[in-house]
Amino acid sequence: MPEPTETGLSDLENILQNLDSLVNEPNDEEKVNELGNILSNPVLATLVNTYDKLTIAYNEPNSQDGYSKNLIDEILYDLEPFNHKSQGAAELTTILQDPHLEALLKVHDDVAWKNYEFEMEPDESNDFVPPEDVVPVQQSKLALNMIGIKKKPGESLGITVRVSQMGDLIITRVIAGSPIDEQGLLHVGDLIKEVNGEEVTTPQQLQELIRKSGENIKIKIIPAFDEQTGRTEMYVKAHFNYDPKKDSVIPCRDAGLAFKDGDILKVVNMEDSKWWQAAKVDGSGKTGIIPSLTLEEKRQAFVKPDLDHTQKSYLCGIVTKKKKKMLYQAKQNSEFDKYELAIYEEVTKLPPFHRKTLVLIGAQGVGRRTLKQFLLKAEPHRFGSVIPHTCRVKRLNEIDGNQYHFMDKELMEEEIQGNKFLEWGAYEGNYYGTKFESITNVTKQNKMCILDINPAALKGIKSGEFLPFIVFIAAPPVQIMRNMHEFARQRGKTNKIKTEEDFQKTLAESARIEKTYKAYFDCIIVNDNMDETYRKLRAEIDKLNADNQWVPVSWVY
């Protein structure tokens, strides 16, 4: 088959080779670079190549004389008069009519005429039928492109590169929002061959040449023809601190984005399985590289708790007084059982709205119940609380529904097995617990239900059904706890006597709860003054009806 005359491609290449002659004034350089970018676009080269091939006629042989079957039919026709006279003619006729030989010759013809390709039914909705003599477009000589890039002095391009197995310098990442990303001239997979006329083969060479360049940079590349996938954007709440300067495996530390536990991040690119691109919502808007969920899960899964120094802790012991042993039992909630490690939580932004429940979490003796009583007494029309259920025998002076709802033990066991309880526990052979139904009954009265539950029950309450606002009441230093307790005794608020060991245990339990369940908390308040803590708590609750809120995306979708 004769090759088509690539008239259009030849002309296009000649124009590109002579573009420099068009630069007569300093202002012409930018326009010529822009024209060069357009003319060297692989899409344009493909269109010109296709046009050339569509406009050139080929002298393909259309005769069917070459088919083996036609030749065999002619031979059989000539042998027919001799079959009854000649044994050889009869044997040859038998051989030529053998089905296996016919199949072999058919395969030979199909291969020779390239009839082995899969044929698709024509699309009835498209009247255009391409000519049979159109040949595949071969790789053009224009694959090597020259592009012009503008950048500010001292500004990085916003790309990361690596050396491929073939020794080529390949772009592995384009930082969203960077000059390269905004200009759209370089893409992941492009091979960088030259910078300002100098050959470049290593990341160090590239960095040095870019540093020496002015505002205008000419880069010769071989573009990647792989189709780029679209960006996926989402917002996440980070549940760990990250400093790229201390990350030994990040591809480029200068391109990393530092953030703190609780920051809201806008993730703009997740194509890389190990490194995402994101920006802090309340920050400067600069996009940087952060560890992906998969990478950070693997890293944190191999960090022993004793070696985790990301947060200070006072894990000296846990309160083990003989109290009702509260055990966690809740509805099966796949959203919170999906990951044991809290890394990123997908969130969405909502306008101000009313939360259904207020959950107070804290160590024993830190003041949760006192704060709860303050709220119930201050605004009984706004706040409400649940009455727990128990199967113990009702005492003589007790009224059902006052301090407890009394129920049959077998029925309570059945409902516990049926996940009707947010939390439950056993004490001296009797069950005590908080039912989901009791919470719903309070919220149906348009009241915010206040819960002071065991931290393990947070998995069951943090859902779109109960819309909780979870506040952790943290313990202050031992000296402040001691002073607060002594002040309460002097005012007659309590007659309990606490030892130094009690305060140490409270502090240790508070640290353990914060370390284990911090990912669930919307707010943390250190109770170093009861009146001040109450004012802070009220202020946080009031903000819910005034400020936009970031909530788990599962609450909405």
| Concatenated DSSP letters of 208-223 | HHHHH--SEEEEEEE-
Handedness of CA 395, 401, 403, 409 (dihedral sign): positive
pLDDT higher than threshold 80 for residue 347 = yes
User: Domain 144-228: which CATH class?
Assistant: mainly beta
pLDDT higher than threshold 70 for residue 122 = no
What is the 3-class SS of 94-150, one letter each residue? Answer: HHHCCHHHHHHHHHHHHHHCCCCCCCCCCCCCCCCCCCCCCCCCCCCHHHCEEEEEE
CATH match of 234-306 with 3.30.70.2740: no
Confidence of residue 137 (pLDDT cuts 50, 70, 90): very low
Which ranges in the chain are annotated with CATH 3.40.50.300?
A: 325-555
Burial class for 506, CB neighbours closer than 10 Å (0-12, 13-18, 19+): buried
Count CB-CB contacts under 10 A for residue 345. Answer: 21
Mean pLDDT over residues 346-373, rounded?
Answer: 93
Provide the pLDDT for residue 557: 60
Which ranges in the chain are annotated with CATH 2.30.30.40?
A: 234-306
What value does the mean pLDDT of the chain take?
79
Provide the pLDDT for residue 61: 44
pTM (two decimals): 0.57
Q: Which of 104-108, 121-125, 174-178, 315-319 is the least confident region?
A: 315-319
The DSSP output letter for 256 is: B
What is the 3-class SS of 139-196, one letter each residue? Answer: CCHHHCEEEEEECCCCCCCCEEEEECCCCCEEEEEECCCCHHHHHCCCCCCCEEEEEC
Confidence of residue 35 (pLDDT cuts 50, 70, 90): confident
pLDDT tens digit string along 197-207? 888 888 888 88
pLDDT higher than threshold 80 for residue 489 = yes
Is residue 359 within 8 Å of residue 451, measured between CB atoms?
yes
The better pLDDT of the pair 540, 45 is held by 540
Confidence of residue 260 (pLDDT cuts 50, 70, 90): very high
The better pLDDT of the pair 550, 318 is held by 550
Q: Which of 135-144, 230-239, 462-471, 490-499 is the least confident region?
A: 135-144
Provide the pLDDT for residue 26: 67
β-strands 275-280, 264-269 pairing: antiparallel
* Angstrom distance (rounded) from CA 519 to CA 303: 18
Cα 407 to Cα 388, 426, 528: the distances in Å are: 11, 14, 40
Q: Which of 43-47, 141-145, 485-489 is the least confident region?
A: 141-145
β-strands 344-350, 549-552 pairing: antiparallel
The tokens 């039992």 sit on which residue? 329
The tokens 């002619």 sit on which residue? 74
The tokens 């590239």 sit on which residue? 206
Structure tokens, 420: 């009707």
β-strands 523-526, 468-474 pairing: parallel
The better pLDDT of the pair 18, 463 is held by 463
pLDDT above 70 covers what percent of the chain? 80
Confidence of residue 512 (pLDDT cuts 50, 70, 90): very high
pLDDT above 90 covers what percent of the chain? 36
| Concatenated DSSP letters of 483-539 | HHHHHHHHTTS------HHHHHHHHHHHHHHHHHHGGG-SEEEE-SSHHHHHHHHHH
Instruction: List, in order, residues 6 or more apart from 530 with CB less than 8 Å away.
Output: 367, 370, 371, 484
Count CB-CB contacts under 10 A for residue 70. Answer: 12
Burial class for 498, CB neighbours closer than 10 Å (0-12, 13-18, 19+): middle
Structure tokens, 369: 């119940």
pLDDT tens digit string along 264-294? 999 988 888 899 999 999 877 789 999 998 8
Is residue 144 within 8 Å of residue 193, measured between CB atoms?
yes
* Angstrom distance (rounded) from CA 171 to CA 315: 47
Provide the pLDDT for residue 121: 43
CATH match of 325-555 with 3.40.190.10: no
Provide the pLDDT for residue 518: 92
Q: E-strand spans in 245-382?
A: 264-269, 275-280, 288-291, 325-328, 344-350, 357-362
* Angstrom distance (rounded) from CA 38 to CA 23: 17
3-state SS, residue 412: helix
Radius of gyration of the chain measured on its C-alpha atoms: 38
Confidence of residue 521 (pLDDT cuts 50, 70, 90): very high
Provide the pLDDT for residue 162: 83
Which ranges in the chain are annotated with CATH 2.30.42.10?
A: 144-228
Of 102, 186, 106, 201, which is closest to residue 146 (Cα–Cα)?
186
Mean pLDDT over residues 82-98, rounded?
Answer: 82
The tokens 């704060």 sit on which residue? 371
Provide the pLDDT for residue 224: 72
